């Protein structure tokens, strides 16, 4: 019996360990959904020669391809030029104070007079174009290259921690992205396991594809060095509602070994141990007195349990004279705790 008790303890410890590990290292389930609008990713662009203010324009997919300025202006989401010293991942490079950086903060306009609405892709806004300017003309690149760096961030991230990539100018660049939302677990998921209904948002990421085409210059203006376009990678045109829907991938953390599974495993394990013990050593005597009889019914008089009949031999003469029948004496036995 001591072996069985030790096995129960080891089983309990092992199953509790499995549940803790399942919470700390959850499995991931995937789901995709279409939305009528999604947030435009934030953008940081820095360059040594970009000393003229950048421009932001928004338009539909098939509009403003030849001339980006035919789109709708969205400069309220662009910051004034700042240096690169505030960006953590740029530290260690020389002359950061000589770079001109622009932040496209899509969460809300920098100018409060434009309100607090975020910049989102919808049926009317399907493409973003950022124009980068310099007082230097593009034909000077014959003798010296020019470069800029860019990085993206989401509404849950601080743009100061943006990670950058380097791109040669002058060029036309396209950033295709797919929005990924990751959801964590909550306390009740330890019991239910979770799935695809969590509301605790852990992080937002962008699955990005970048393409850049080097050119000698733009016919629009020799001081225009870069047109940087941001375009959703996955979208569907809904003909019934005459709208555009964007694909979002959802990642949900799920607890693989829940409390319910722990109790089920413990019950099954104990049942196997009981069968083995009964097979090897047999069953213990059955104790009919449970918790109710031992504790709750102590003040109740015990019930009569057994009766026995005893026929005594009486003098035959007396029996014949006084009583023709047998005399029965009942002995009452009571069982007390």
Question: DSSP states of 152-180 as a string?
Answer: EE-TTS-GGG---EEEEESEEEEEEEEEE
pLDDT of residue 336: 46
Q: Say if residue 145 is exposed, middle or buried (CB neighbours under 10 Å; 0-12, 13-18, 19+).
A: exposed
> Per-residue confidence at 3, pLDDT binned at 50, 70, 90?
very low
**pLDDT of 335 higher than 80:** no
Query: HEC states along 206-249?
Result: EEEEEEEEECCCCCCCCCEEEEEEEEECCEEEECCCCEEEEEEE
Beta bridge partners of 166: 149
Structure tokens at 266: 């413990």
Phi, psi (deg, nearest 5) at residue 318:
-65, -40
Q: Say if residue 59 is exposed, middle or buried (CB neighbours under 10 Å; 0-12, 13-18, 19+).
A: buried
Pairwise pLDDT comparison (251 vs 29), residue with the higher score: 251
Residue with tokens 């607890």: 255
Cis peptide before 188 (omega within 30 of 0): no
pLDDT of residue 288: 62
pLDDT of residue 148: 93
Residues near 137 by beta carbon (within 8 Å), at least 6 away in sequence: 217, 222, 223
Q: Give the integer Cα–Cα distance in Å for 200 and 193.
A: 14
> Per-residue confidence at 239, pLDDT binned at 50, 70, 90?
confident
Percentage, residues of the chain above pLDDT 70: 62
Contact assessment for residue 81 and residue 55, using Cβ atoms and an 8 Å cutoff: no
Q: Give the integer Cα–Cα distance in Å for 322 and 81.
A: 131
pLDDT of residue 30: 85
The answer to which of 16-25, 165-174, 192-201, 269-278 has the lowest mean pLDDT is 192-201
Beta bridge partners of 309: 330
pLDDT of residue 169: 86
pLDDT of residue 197: 59
CA-based radius of gyration for the chain:
41
**pLDDT of 305 higher than 70:** no
Structure tokens at 92: 């260690």
Q: Give the integer Cα–Cα distance in Å for 322 and 150.
A: 125
Most confident of 51-65, 106-120, 155-169: 155-169
Contact assessment for residue 228 and residue 45, using Cβ atoms and an 8 Å cutoff: yes
pLDDT of residue 112: 77
Reported pTM:
0.69
**pLDDT of 107 higher than 50:** yes
Average pLDDT, the chain: 78
Element (H, E) at 331: strand 328-333
Q: Give the integer Cα–Cα distance in Å for 224 and 233.
A: 26
Q: For the residues 227-244, what does the mean pLDDT come to?
A: 89
Pairwise pLDDT comparison (322 vs 27), residue with the higher score: 27
Task: Say which CATH superfamily domain 27-254 falls into.
Answer: Acid-sensing ion channels like domains (2.60.470.10)
**pLDDT of 96 higher than 50:** yes
């Amino acid at each position: 019996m001591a072996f069985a008790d030790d096995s129960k303890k080891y089983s309990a410890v092992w199953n509790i360990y499995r549940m803790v590990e399942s919470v700390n290292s959850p499995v991931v389930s995937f789901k995709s959904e279409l939305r009528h609008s999604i947030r435009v990713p934030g953008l940081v662009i820095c360059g040594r020669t970009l000393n003229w203010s950048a421009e932001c324009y928004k338009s539909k997919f098939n509009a403003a391809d030849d001339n980006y300025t035919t789109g709708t202006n969205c400069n309220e989401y662009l910051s004034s030029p700042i240096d690169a010293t505030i960006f953590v991942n740029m530290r260690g490079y020389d002359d950061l104070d000589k770079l001109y950086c622009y932040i496209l903060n899509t969460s809300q306009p920098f100018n409060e007079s434009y309100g607090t609405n975020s910049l989102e892709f919808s049926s009317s806004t399907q493409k973003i174009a950022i124009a980068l300017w310099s007082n230097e003309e593009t034909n000077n690149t014959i003798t010296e290259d020019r470069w800029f760096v860019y990085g993206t961030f989401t509404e849950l991230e601080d743009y100061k921690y943006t990670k950058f990539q380097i791109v040669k100018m002058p060029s036309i660049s396209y950033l295709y992205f797919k929005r990924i939302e990751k959801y964590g677990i909550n306390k009740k998921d330890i019991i239910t396991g979770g799935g695809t209904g969590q509301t605790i948002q852990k992080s937002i990421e962008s699955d990005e594809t970048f393409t850049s085409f080097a050119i000698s210059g733009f016919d629009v203006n020799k001081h225009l060095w870069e047109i940087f376009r941001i375009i959703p990678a996955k979208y569907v045109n809904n003909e019934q509602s005459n709208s555009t829907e964007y694909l979002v991938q959802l990642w949900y953390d799920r607890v693989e070994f829940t409390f319910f599974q722990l109790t089920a495993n413990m019950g099954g394990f104990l049942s196997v141990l009981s069968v083995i013990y009964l097979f090897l050593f047999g069953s213990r005597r059955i104790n009919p007195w449970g918790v109710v009889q031992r504790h709750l019914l102590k003040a109740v008089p015990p019930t009569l349990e057994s009766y026995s009949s005893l026929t005594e031999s009486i003098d035959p003469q007396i029996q014949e004279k006084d009583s023709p029948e047998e005399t029965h004496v009942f002995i009452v036995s009571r069982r007390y705790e």
